[in-house]
Structure 1
C-alpha cells in the first residue's frame, strides 16, 4: 500500500546558506534524513517549483521547498482495544484527553500500544486517512487534549489551520525556579547537534514561539499557563529549559530534582517520585473543519499534577519567609 506525500515549507532567514538535505531535515523532522535524501536524489524535491537532485544545493531565505513523493507503508498499525478518554466526537473529528505513557505513533521501541492503534480500533474507517487522522502530537508523557481528523477532508482543513496558527493550544506546566512575570520565548528550535533524540534552541532551527504567564508562585517552583504559536517537537520543554526553568520531572531536559533548602522528607519524595514532565494540554480551541463552528474544550488537570501542586503549596506555606513578593 502506497501513501502520497505532499509537503511544503519556506526557508527561514536562519537557514540561508544551508545545504538542501540539512534544510529539509529541519523543515520536515517527521521523516528520517535517509528518506529525505532519497527523495532529493529521486527528483521528488523542488525549490521554487524547480526540481533539485543535489543534496548539497544551497538554499536561500523565502525559497519554497516542496516534496511530492510516494512511500510504501513499511508497517501497518493494527487495531488494538486501548481505552481512550474521548472528550468530543462527531462524524468528522475526535477530541481526546491523552493519558501519560501513551505514545502517539508507532515507532522504534513502540510498535504497538499507541494512540494510532487505539484509533484504528475505535474508528476502523480512519485507516483511509493519512496517519490515522493524527494532525498534531503530544509527547509520550505529556497529557491533555488532541484533535484527530476522521476524514481526509477534515484532516486537510485542520492541517491548514495549524499552519495558519488558527488553532489555540494552551498548556499547564510546573517549572523549577520562581518566575516573577510572564513573557514570550521566540527562539528557533532544531535537532540537537550531537544528541539525535534531543531538540535544542539553534540558530538554524525552525521559528518557534511560546507565550507564558505565571499562574501560581511557590517557594522554588512556578505554575505556568502557556500558549503555542508554533508546534515544534518538545517546544515547551526546550524553550523553558533555554530560559533556565526546566519542567519538573522532565527526563530529557530537566536533570535531577533540586528540592529547596529545608524541604521536608515528604516533599522531597514527591519531587523525586514525579517521573514525567509536568506538562498538560489543558485547552483546545478551533473552528470545526466542516461545520465552521468555533469550538473549545478544557481537560482537567491530571491527578499526579494535582498532587504535585498540593505538595508545592504545602512546602510554600511551611516556609513563607522564602517567598518573594
Structure 2
C-alpha cells in the first residue's frame, strides 16, 4: 500500500460555494464520494496547501485541492521498456499510433508487454493515474490512434467527453463481400452467453451505433471507412458480422462465407491468410482538455493493409 499525490485547480464556476466532498466527487470521478469523504476525515485532503478535515467546507474558484489517496499495488503494473510510436504529446495528453500485436492493458493471458507497462516506463508520474491514463482501448490486432491522459484533470475530462460521444473516432476496414452502399448499424451489443471472451448483437445489450461509408469496391471485398458513435467492446467487428460483411482476417467474428467457392479460388485463399482483422483506427479528434482547441490527428494505413488493398486491386 502506498500514498500518491493528486492536485488540481478548481476552475469551474459552478463549483463555487459548494461543499468540499461534492466538489471532490466531480474532480476525482475515479473515486467514490464516500471514499473521498473518508480521505477528508483522516486529514488526507489539502485546500491551498492546508489540511481540511470538514466535508462541508465551501470551495471557491481558483483554489488548489490536493488529495492523498492510498493505492493498492496492482499485479503486473510495472514498467517495461517498450517503444511507443507517439504522434503527439504535450503536458496533458499524448496520442499513440498502436501497432498490431500490442495489447493495451494487462489481462488474462497478457500479463506483461502491454501499452500500460510501456507508459509506466516512459512516464514516471503516470502511475498515479487510473489505468496509467488510458482512456479507451484498441483490440490487440487493431492498429491506429489512441489517446492517453497525463494528468488527472485530463483523464476525467476525456472520460467525460467520451461518454458524451464528443470524441470522434474513425476507422478503415476491409470487409468480405461487395457492399452496395454505406449505412448506419444500430444494434445493441452484449457479452456472448457462451463464448465469454466474445460479444454479440442482442436485444438486451447496450446501445451500439456504427456509421460506415464505402471507400472502394473490389470483386469480392469492400474497403470502408467507419465512425463510432458508441464504443462497445469489439463493436465494429460484431456489427460488420451482423450485417454479413465481417472483417477480412478476423479470427473471432468470421461469419459464413457466401457466394464463392473459396476452396477452389487460389486468390481468395491468399487473402484469407491475412493474419489479423483488417481494421485500423485512422482518425481521432476532440476538444483539448486545457486549451479548449479542437485538435485532430490522422495516420495512414499500416503496410500490411496497404499491401492487401494493392493485392485486391490487382486480383
TM bin (shorter chain) = 0.7 to 0.9
Q: In the TM superposition, what is the alpha-carbon distance from 1:272 to its structure 2 partner?
A: 3.1
Pairing 1:276-295 to 2, within 5 Å after superposition: 276-295=276-295
Cα deviations across residues 151-199 of structure 1 (Å, max 9, x unaligned)?
Answer: 1100000000101111000000000001010000001000011110010
Give the aligned partner of residue 194 of structure 2. Answer: 194
Cα deviations across residues 219-252 of structure 1 (Å, max 9, x unaligned)?
Answer: 0100010000000000000001001000000000
Give the aligned partner of residue 81 of structure 1. Answer: 81
SS in 1 for 2:312: helix
With the length of structure 1 as denominator, give the TM-score of the two structures.
Answer: 0.73
Pairing 1:293-304 to 2, within 5 Å after superposition: 293-304=293-304
- 8 A Cα contact 1:270 1:308, kept in partner: no
Give the aligned partner of residue 25 of structure 1. Answer: none
SS in 1 for 2:272: helix
Give the aligned partner of residue 99 of structure 1. Answer: 99
- 8 A Cα contact 2:208 2:229, kept in partner: yes
Q: In the TM superposition, what is the alpha-carbon distance from 1:264 to its structure 2 partner?
A: 6.5
Quote the RMSD (CA, aligned, Å).
2.4
Rg (Cα) greater in structure: 2
Pairing 1:77-226 to 2, within 5 Å after superposition: 77-226=77-226
- 8 A Cα contact 2:244 2:255, kept in partner: no
Pairing 1:223-262 to 2, within 5 Å after superposition: 223-254=223-254, 260=260
Distance 1:312 1:259, change over 3 A: farther
CA distance in 1, matches of 2:253, 2:142: 14
- 8 A Cα contact 2:246 2:253, kept in partner: yes
- 8 A Cα contact 2:249 2:277, kept in partner: yes
Cα deviations across residues 246-267 of structure 1 (Å, max 9, x unaligned)?
Answer: 00000000158889569873x3
- 8 A Cα contact 2:241 2:255, kept in partner: no
CA distance in 1, matches of 2:256, 2:83: 32
CA distance in 1, matches of 2:168, 2:275: 28
| Aligned residue pairs, count | 252
- 8 A Cα contact 2:168 2:286, kept in partner: yes
List alignment gaps of at least 5 residues for structure 2: 4-33, 36-69
CA distance in 1, matches of 2:259, 2:136: 34
